[in-house]
Chains A and B, each alone.
Chain A
Amino acid sequence: MNIVRKVQESASGDLSILAKKTLQNLLRERITKLAFACLILILFTGAIGPLVAPYDYNEQQLTADGQLDRYSPPSADHLLGTNDRGEDVLSRLLVGARATLITGLLAGSLMLVLGLSIGVTAGYIGGQTESVLMRFVDFMYGIPFIPFAIVLITFFGAGFYTTIAIIGLVLWRFIARVIRSQVLQIKQRPYIMAAKASGASTPWIIRKHILPNIANMAALFFAMGVGLAILEQAGLSFIGVTDPFTPTWGIMIRNAHQSGRVADAWWWSFPPGIMISLTVLSLYLLGRGYEGTSGDDEVVV
Chain B
Amino acid sequence: MSRLRYFAHRTAITVALIFLVASSLFVFFRLMPGDYSSLLVQQGMNADQIARLEAKWGLNAPLHEQYVRYITNLLTADAGQSFRHNAPVWDLVRPRIINSAILVFPAITATYIIGSLVGTVIGRYRGGLFEKSSIITVSVFHSIPDFFLGILLIAAFSQTINIFPTSGMLSTETAVMIGGEPFWHRFFLKEFWMHYALPFATITLYFMQYPALIMRNSVVEVSNQEFLHYHRLKGLPRPALLRKLMRHASLPVVTLYPISLASSISGLVLIEIVFNWPGIGRLLVDSVLARDFPVIQFVFLVAAVWVILGNFLVDLLYGVIDPRVSVGNDNNE
Contact = CB atoms under 8 A, between A and B. Distances in A.
B145 A141 contact: no
Given A151-B296, A266-B155, A145 B144 contact: no
Contacts of A184: 333
Given A144-B265, A147-B299, A253 B159 contact: no
A27 interface: no
Given A277-B140, A298-B213, A264 B270 contact: no
Interface string A210-251: 000000000000000001000100110011110000000010
Interface stretch (A5-13, A67-75, A199-207, A280-288): A280-288
Contacts, number: 132
Contacts of B20: 139
Nearest to A241: B288
Nearest to B296: A151
B331 A142 contact: no
Contacts of B288: 150-151, 154, 241
A146 interface: yes
A276 B146 CA distance: 11
Contacts of A166: none
Interface SS of chain B: helix
B37 interface: no
B304 interface: yes
Contact of A276 (B136, B148, B300): B148
Interface residues of A, number: 48
Interface string A121-148: 0000000000100110011011111111
A288 B214 CA distance: 12
Interface in B250-297: 256, 259, 265-267, 269-270, 273-274, 281, 284-285, 288, 291, 296
Interface stretch (B71-79, B81-89, B306-314): B306-314
A103 interface: no
Interface in A62-117: none
Interface in B125-184: 132, 135-136, 139-140, 142-148, 151-152, 154-156, 159-160
Contacts of A284: 139, 142-143
Contacts of B274: 257
Please give me the 4 A-B residue pairs with the lowest Cβ-Cβ distance, nearest first.
A263-B159, A281-B143, A146-B266, A263-B155
28 contacts: A141-B311, A142-B304, A142-B307, A143-B307, A144-B300, A144-B304, A146-B265, A146-B266, A146-B270, A147-B299, A150-B284, A234-B145, A235-B147, A235-B266, A239-B269, A240-B285, A241-B288, A253-B147, A263-B160, A269-B148, A277-B143, A280-B143, A280-B145, A281-B140, A284-B139, A284-B143, A300-B210, A300-B256
Interface of B: 13, 17, 20-21, 32, 132, 135-136, 139-140, 142-148, 151-152, 154-156, 159-160, 210, 213-214, 217, 256, 259, 265-267, 269-270, 273-274, 281, 284-285, 288, 291, 296, 299-300, 303-304, 306-308, 311, 331, 333
